[in-house]
Structure 1
Amino acid sequence: MAGAGVAGGAAAVLRTAQRVGAAALLGVGSLGLLLFSLEREHPLLALGGGVMAAGAATVLGAALGFLFGIPRLKAAAEGPGGAAAGGAAAGAQRSYLPNTNLEQVSDWLTKVLLGVGLTQLGSLGERLHQLGSALAPALGGGPGAESFSAALVLYFLVFGFLAGWLATRLLLPRALSDADHALDLFLAGQDRDRKGDKVGADDLRVRAMQHLGLLGASADHPETVRSQLPPSVSATPENVVAEVRSTARRSALTADQVRELFTDGSEGRRIQALALMQGDPALADLDSILDAIERPRSGFEQYHALLAARGLLSLLATGQWRRLRDAVAAQLMAPEGIPYGSDRSWLAEKILARLEPEPAPTVPRQPAPEQAGQGG
Structure 2
Amino acid sequence: MAKARRQGGAAALRTAKWAAAGVLAGTGLLGLVLFALGRERAWQALGGGLVVAGASAVLGGALGFLFGVPRVRGGSGGSGEPQGSYAPNTNLEQVSDWLTKVLLGVGLTQLGSLGERLHQLGTALAPVLGGDDAAVPFGAALVLYFLVLGFLAGWLVTRLALPRVLTSADDQALDLFLAGQDRDRHGDKVGADDLRVRAMQQLGVLGGSAEQPAALAGQLPPSAGSPAGPDGVVAEVRATAKRSALTAEQVRDLFADGSEGRRIQALALMQGDPALADLTSLLDAIEHPRSDFEQYHALLAARGLLSRLPADEARRLRDAVAGRLVDPAGIPYGSDRSWLAEKILSRLQTAAPSVPAQPGPPDAPANV
Inter-partner Cα distance in structure 2 for 1:143 and 1:289 = 69
Cα deviation, 1:217-253, whole Å, max 9, x if unaligned, reads 1222222211111211432211211111111111121
Work out which of the residue numbers 93, 96, 114 in structure 2 matches 1:139. Answer: 114
- Cα gap change, 1:162 to 1:198, in 2 (>3 Å): same
Work out which of the residue numbers 298, 319, 326 in structure 2 matches 1:305. Answer: 298
1:257 corresponds to 2:250: yes
Asked if the contact 1:220/1:300 (under 8 Å) is kept, the reply is yes
Partner of 2:348: 355
Asked if the contact 1:254/1:283 (under 8 Å) is kept, the reply is yes
Inter-partner Cα distance in structure 2 for 1:358 and 1:142 = 76
- Cα gap change, 1:366 to 1:306, in 2 (>3 Å): same
Once the two structures are TM-superposed, the CA of residue 100 in structure 1 deviates from its matched residue by 8.1
Q: 1:93-104 maps to which residues of 2 (within 5 A)? A: none
Once the two structures are TM-superposed, the CA of residue 137 in structure 1 deviates from its matched residue by 4.2
Q: Which amino acid aligns with 1:245?
A: R
Deviates more, 1:292-301 or 1:246-255: 246-255
Q: Which has the higher contact order (CA 8 A, sep 6+)?
A: 1
Partner of 2:359: 364
- Cα gap change, 1:23 to 1:340, in 2 (>3 Å): farther
- Cα gap change, 1:368 to 1:222, in 2 (>3 Å): closer
Partner of 2:309: 316
Work out which of the residue numbers 318, 337, 342 in structure 2 matches 1:344. Answer: 337
Q: Indicate the SS of the match to 1:344.
A: helix
Cα deviation, 1:296-325, whole Å, max 9, x if unaligned, reads 110000100000000000000011101101
Q: 1:32-51 maps to which residues of 2 (within 5 A)? A: none
Inter-partner Cα distance in structure 2 for 1:239 and 1:343 = 18
Q: Which amino acid aligns with 1:198?
A: K
Partner of 1:212: 203
Partner of 1:199: 190
Q: Which amino acid aligns with 2:114?
A: L
Inter-partner Cα distance in structure 1 for 2:109 and 2:209 = 58
Asked if the contact 2:54/2:146 (under 8 Å) is kept, the reply is no
Partner of 1:76: none
1:187 corresponds to 2:182: no
Give the alignment's TM-score, normalised by structure 2.
0.62
Q: 1:1-376 maps to which residues of 2 (within 5 A)? A: 24-25=52-53, 27-28=55-56, 62=64, 137=112, 139=114, 155-168=146-159, 171-233=162-224, 234-356=227-349, 358-371=353-366
Inter-partner Cα distance in structure 2 for 1:156 and 1:142 = 15
Once the two structures are TM-superposed, the CA of residue 273 in structure 1 deviates from its matched residue by 0.7
Q: Indicate the SS of the match to 2:267.
A: helix
Inter-partner Cα distance in structure 2 for 1:368 and 1:23 = 92
Asked if the contact 2:251/2:269 (under 8 Å) is kept, the reply is yes
Alignment: residue pair count:
270
Inter-partner Cα distance in structure 2 for 1:348 and 1:160 = 46
Inter-partner Cα distance in structure 2 for 1:142 and 1:349 = 59
Inter-partner Cα distance in structure 1 for 2:265 and 2:110 = 71
Q: Indicate the SS of the match to 1:190.
A: helix
Asked if the contact 1:25/1:159 (under 8 Å) is kept, the reply is no
Q: Indicate the SS of the match to 1:218.
A: coil
Q: Which amino acid aligns with 1:324?
A: L
Inter-partner Cα distance in structure 2 for 1:362 and 1:344 = 36
* 5+ residue gaps, structure 2: 1-48, 71-81, 89-107, 120-136
Q: Which amino acid aligns with 2:182?
A: D
Give the alignment's TM-score, normalised by structure 1.
0.61
Inter-partner Cα distance in structure 2 for 1:62 and 1:236 = 39
